Amino acid sequence: MNEVNILIVDDDAILCEALSDVVEMKGGYSTERAGTAREALRKAGERFFNVALLDLTLPDMEGIDLLRQLRQLHEAMQIIILTGHTSLEKAAEAVRQGAFACLIKPSSSEEIMGAIQRALAK
């Protein structure tokens, strides 16, 4: 079976590390972390990620714009929005732009892993 790669994009370094630990330990997946949209685009340009966990509030770009650019780079990448600072309108816009799911922080590790597993099965 091919290795599953997950890109975690959040400007909160502690949360990024915690998410990475959960995804690696509970799912056995390989992770990369990015604290900015620019870093996420660079990493996504270098390799394919099956799933991206994406915060909508980033210091250098709106998460919706990053979502569009990631989808252009890799149409097969499933993007899960994981944010604490969103309105229902932004969440709906993210889904219209191709997000697989939208989770509100704080989310349990079970919710996050369930969303990743459903995205991988798609």
* pLDDT tens sequence across 52-61: 999 988 999 9
Q: What's the total number of domains in the chain?
A: 1
- pTM assigned to the model: 0.93
**Domain, as residue range, for 64:** 5-121
- Give the mean pLDDT per block of 10 residues along the chain (122 residues): 89 95 96 97 97 94 93 95 77 88 90 97 90
| pLDDT score for 6 | 98
Token output for 113: 């892993």
Residue whose token pair is 């997000």:
99
Residue 86: per-residue pLDDT: 64
Q: What is the CATH number of the domain that holds 14?
A: 3.40.50.2300
Buried b (16+ CB within 10 A) or exposed e, 88-114: eebbebbeeeebbbbbeeebeeeebbe
Gap between the Cα atoms of 3 and 28, Å rounded? 9
pLDDT digits (tens, 9 = 90+) for 27-55: 999 999 999 999 999 999 999 999 999 99
3-class secondary structure, 86: coil
14/61 Cα distance (integer angstroms): 20
